Structure 1
Amino acid sequence: MSTTLFSRGAKAGVSCTLLVVALGAGVTACGADDNPLAADPYDAADQISFSGLTEAGKKADPEKPLVVTASGSEGRITDVTAVDATGRHVSGELAADGSRWHSTSPLAAGAHYTLTVSTENDDGAPGRKVVGFDTSKPATTKRLNVTFGPEAGTYGVGEPIVAELDQPVKDKAQRAVVERGLQVVSTPAVQGSWYWVDDKQLHYRPKDYWPANATIQVHSTLQDIRIGDQLYGGTAKPLTVTTGDRVVAVTDAATHRLTVYRNDEKIKEIPVTTGKPGFETRNGVKVVLAKQYFVRMKSTTVGIAAGSSDSYDLPVYYATRVTWSGEFVHAAPWSVGSQGSANVSHGCTGMSTPNAKWFFDNIHEGDVVQVVNSKGDPMELFDNGIGDWNLSWQKWLQGSALASGTRSAAPQGNQARLSPQSL
């Protein structure tokens, strides 16, 4: 939850006129002590009333909204803050005339809150009332727990943040509560948003790739917050990850060249071969999932029958994985004669062993690998690795429960696990 402060503009300062007497001495008609804004706040207890707070000794119901109302016609509310003992603020809205404030985000159950109400009277003098109260604990023990990913560490600028829920959330209003409670803070700051991949998984990414050498902190404020009927927020371990340099590798299947950029500077161009007709490499933006020095690649794992003209069973070195279904950038010494001039692979991007070693040593998990000008299918969004960046920012925002528009009809599902390999 984010803090929302509602402050009215201060009244214009009291005018002070300078009087000049015959002797030339200057005196003022008023002083700072006469300015009502300079006075200590008076006790505003008589100017306000509360709804949602119970009588002394009883705990407030966290499922009911908190309402503060200005009493009478001699004062108005200028500001309200409600914060619990852990520092979580309650959002709210203040009427334009200062007559009423009400909470717009739920209170936590079993928490202690400090409510501070600021007022002013018709003369502009400030008032204040501070109230402490406790909320009751929920009767239910059903909790929604969250696990953030990836693991703490340093990644490339294409790595999204993932939130895994331990039970499904389908209702949009409940999803909105969950999403508001999942906080992502990047330094330097960037615009970003969550996307509901399915009922139990969310991805968070910025509009563009993460900044290079950024720090990204992720935490949940959902604990003890009511999400739905008989469902409250549970625990979530905070996560901090960092990014390295901005490394983007672009493979042009038409020119048979892979070009590597570091922080937008071209650092290497490598002749390659990509998928031949019938086995074309996927077009689009992919993200490095893992690096494996050695992989045994068999054609039978991708549906090619043993003994056919396309069958293979080969040791492969310096393999950089970009899809779970088996697309790699790897050493392919058997196709050096075609690298830079023809596409002869079964879907992977092949290069010489020295070039593959260089690529392997200079690429990292989370770095971006993009394929252009291939006749292959577009990269899957979520089912076969990290294809998040293939959605436009507008469509990505539609995947948020906080979006006003209709969600995009993007394919959904959980990532598959390590399985077939292709050459």
Structure 2
Amino acid sequence: MNHTSRNRIPIRCALLVTPLAIGAVACGGSGTDPLADKPYDAAEQIAFSGGPKGRAADPDEPLEVTAKGGDSRITDVTATDATGRYLRGELTPDGKRWRSTAPLAAGAHYTLRVSTENADGRPGRKTIGFNTAPADRLLRVRFGPDSGTYGVGQPITAELSVPVKGRAARATVERALRVHSQPVVEGAWHWVNDRTLHYRPRAYWPARATVTARSNLEGIKVADGLHGGPARPLTLHTGARIEAVTDASAHQMVVKRDGKTIRTIPVTTGKPGFATRNGVKVVLAKESFVRMRGTSIGIAEGSADSYDLPVHWATRVTWSGEYVHAAPWSSGSHGAANVSHGCTGMSSANAQWFFDLVRPGDLVAVVGSGGSTMTPFDNGFGDWNLSWDAWRKGSALSAGVREGSGPADAARLRPAV
């Protein structure tokens, strides 16, 4: 019987009718159907490129399985690593060769299952276990912030241990960094620079949500000689939606919880030459006491604008020293005039109330100031000052991705009042 004319031998059944029993069925087969046989060991019919026994396979090389001899062919191949991830591949139409079409994971154990059939149509099976060599370099990911409860404006950050350049490599990283929230919201990664990504939703996180971030990058090839390493997952929760909006022209701050106004506070903001930044900021930290000096922001000691003050109930919103804090020395200007060096000042009682209310990740916005707009990345979390379209252009999975963007290191300066 040749390969192209394989016929299945029909099974003959007879309906036996006797005076005592009607409908009893007896079936018999010829016993020569090749599919009825137990699969044979196909070890002698296949070869694969996993390396000699005891030697690890090169994860940078494709995996190949070939049929040996002219009388057999491969019918199916599956390769999975220890985590259950399948390795994609293609089988040639003649069944003579299967080749992987995706990179193997480095430092992983794979189970290869190969199905074959011989010239008579008999099925063969072979299961092979092999290991891949460890990566030359590992790309490690550290998610931020630390686990805990945050405001609805808190971005997720991913710090990479080595720079990643080029759209293809960045896309590989992005696909492996998974963020999920409950309730579910739309979100995306944005490359701040070659080693830093931020993730935010299209709008703010829902209040009282659970957000998880994890990496599926371990073992995955990112670039030649660079594979993903292990990463600790992150889980954080959001609290109530706290928003504080300061209108610098009206000299007041409106504080809302879950959309409802809970307090309106008379404030003073930056005077001409020191105007407070407009835009959305995110609470970075809370400091119950800070020593604020004008020299820390370039004001010469002894000049008319020089200061050296003990400050209480200071809520930080930029790394360069912008706070919401108690300013009892300017109480006459609260609600009436802007006299600060860029911070938002208020009474001690209001500052302590605000300090106790907010947490990192809560939203603090300024409108109506003569200052510039808060920058997105180099002075805190100004992520929300980018439109959604502009945000998505910073993704390697978007057509507008930037490649090789420069660093955006935060300017960690001392406070201004």
* TM-score scaled by length of structure 2: 0.76
1:393 matches 2:388? yes
Structure 2: distance between partners of 1:57 and 1:65: 19
- Correspondent of 1:137 among 112, 133, 143: 133
Structure 1: distance between partners of 2:205 and 2:356: 22
Report the Cα offset of residue 102 of structure 1.
8.1
Report the Cα offset of residue 415 of structure 1.
2.2
Structure 2: distance between partners of 1:130 and 1:389: 55
Secondary structure in 1 aligned to 2:332? coil
Counterpart in 1 of 2:109? 112
| Structure 2 gaps, min length 5 | 1-37, 67-74, 116-122
Secondary structure in 2 aligned to 1:190? coil
Structure 2: distance between partners of 1:338 and 1:93: 71
Amino acid at match of 2:109: H
Structure 2: distance between partners of 1:233 and 1:137: 13
Secondary structure in 1 aligned to 2:414? coil
Q: Any conservation in 1 of the 2:292–2:416 contact (CA below 8 Å)?
A: yes
Secondary structure in 1 aligned to 2:292? strand
RMSD: 3.7
Report the Cα offset of residue 285 of structure 1.
0.8
- Correspondent of 1:250 among 202, 227, 245: 245
Structure 1: distance between partners of 2:276 and 2:406: 20
1:167-182 correspondence runs (5 A): 167-182=162-177
Secondary structure in 1 aligned to 2:149? strand
- Correspondent of 2:282 among 279, 284, 287: 287
Amino acid at match of 1:175: R
Secondary structure in 1 aligned to 2:416? coil
Change (3 A) 1:198 1:130: farther
Structure 1: distance between partners of 2:278 and 2:194: 28
What is the percentage of aligned positions where both structures have the same residue?
Answer: 57
1:346 matches 2:333? no
Change (3 A) 1:231 1:259: same
Counterpart in 1 of 2:11? none
Report the Cα offset of residue 158 of structure 1.
1.1
Structure 1: distance between partners of 2:129 and 2:242: 51
1:361 matches 2:318? no
Change (3 A) 1:363 1:411: farther
Secondary structure in 1 aligned to 2:359? coil
Report the Cα offset of residue 408 of structure 1.
9.4
What do the CA deviations read for 1:132-174 (whole angstroms, capped 9, x no partner)? 6434214x53212221111111111111111111221222222
Report the Cα offset of residue 61 of structure 1.
4.7
What do the CA deviations read for 1:337-393 (whole angstroms, capped 9, x no partner)? 211121111100011111111100101111111111111011121111111111111
Structure 1: distance between partners of 2:323 and 2:180: 32
Aligned residue pairs total 367
Q: Any conservation in 2 of the 1:53–1:133 contact (CA below 8 Å)?
A: no
1:296 matches 2:291? yes
Structure 1: distance between partners of 2:338 and 2:166: 47
Counterpart in 1 of 2:159? 164
1:84 matches 2:81? yes
Report the Cα offset of residue 405 of structure 1.
2.3
Change (3 A) 1:105 1:363: farther
Report the Cα offset of residue 407 of structure 1.
2.9
Report the Cα offset of residue 206 of structure 1.
1.2
Report the Cα offset of residue 334 of structure 1.
1.7
Structure 1: distance between partners of 2:204 and 2:320: 24
Q: Any conservation in 2 of the 1:395–1:407 contact (CA below 8 Å)?
A: no
Counterpart in 2 of 1:4? none
Change (3 A) 1:103 1:339: farther
- Correspondent of 1:229 among 221, 224, 232: 224
Structure 2: distance between partners of 1:367 and 1:236: 27
| Structure 1 gaps, min length 5 | 1-41, 70-75, 119-126
Secondary structure in 2 aligned to 1:355? helix
Secondary structure in 1 aligned to 2:333? coil
Counterpart in 1 of 2:329? 334
Amino acid at match of 2:145: P
1:22-421 correspondence runs (5 A): 61-65=58-62, 83-87=80-84, 89-90=85-86, 105-113=102-110, 133-138=129-134, 140-407=135-402, 412-417=407-412, 419-421=413-415
Report the Cα offset of residue 109 of structure 1.
2.2
Change (3 A) 1:55 1:312: closer
Change (3 A) 1:132 1:362: farther
Report the Cα offset of residue 311 of structure 1.
1.3
Report the Cα offset of residue 279 of structure 1.
0.6
Structure 2: distance between partners of 1:304 and 1:398: 38
Q: Any conservation in 1 of the 2:213–2:233 contact (CA below 8 Å)?
A: yes
Amino acid at match of 1:365: P
Change (3 A) 1:382 1:53: same
Structure 1: distance between partners of 2:146 and 2:154: 11
Counterpart in 1 of 2:23? none
Report the Cα offset of residue 314 of structure 1.
1.1
Structure 2: distance between partners of 1:143 and 1:92: 23
Change (3 A) 1:304 1:84: same
